[in-house]
Amino acid sequence: MRVALGPLASAEPKTAKRSRNMGFFDKIKAGLKKTTDKISDGLNSIAANFRKVDEEFLDELLEVLIMADVGYETSQTIIDQLREKAKLEKIESTEQLREALMSIIAQLMQGDNELKIATKPSVILVVGVNGVGKTTTIGKLAHRLSEDGKKVIIAAADTFRAAAIDQISIWAERAGIDIIKHQDGSDPAAVVFDGIRASVARDADVLICDTAGRLHNKKNLMGELEKILRVIDRELPQADKEILLVVDATTGQNAIAQARDFKEAVGITGVVLTKLDGTAKGGVTIAVKDITGVPIKLVGVGEKIDDLQYFDAQEFARALVGGDEE
Residue 296's alpha-carbon distances to 111, 122, 182, 221, 272, in angstroms, are 8, 19, 31, 24, 6
pTM for this predicted structure: 0.86
| pLDDT tens string 204-251 | 999 999 998 866 556 667 788 899 999 999 999 999 999 999 999 888
Distance between CA 35 and CA 301 in Å, rounded?
A: 12
Residue type, 33: K
- Out of 53-57, 76-80, 86-90, 211-215, pick the least confident: 211-215
Length of the chain: 326
Residue 2 has pLDDT above 60, yes or no: no
Q: How confident is the model at residue 148 (pLDDT cuts 50, 70, 90)?
A: very high
Can the peptide bond before residue 7 be classed as cis, meaning omega within 30 degrees of 0?
no
Distance between CA 233 and CA 221 in Å, rounded?
A: 19
Neighbours of 15 (CB within 10 A): 6
Residue 24 has pLDDT above 80, yes or no: no
More confident residue, 226 or 29: 226
Distance between CA 289 and CA 70 in Å, rounded?
A: 11
Question: Contact at 8 Å (CB) between 262 and 293?
Answer: no
Residue 295 has pLDDT above 80, yes or no: yes
What is the SS3 string spanning 284-325?
HHHHHHHHHCCCEEEEECCCCCCCEEECCHHHHHHHHCCCCC
Question: Contact at 8 Å (CB) between 134 and 272?
Answer: no
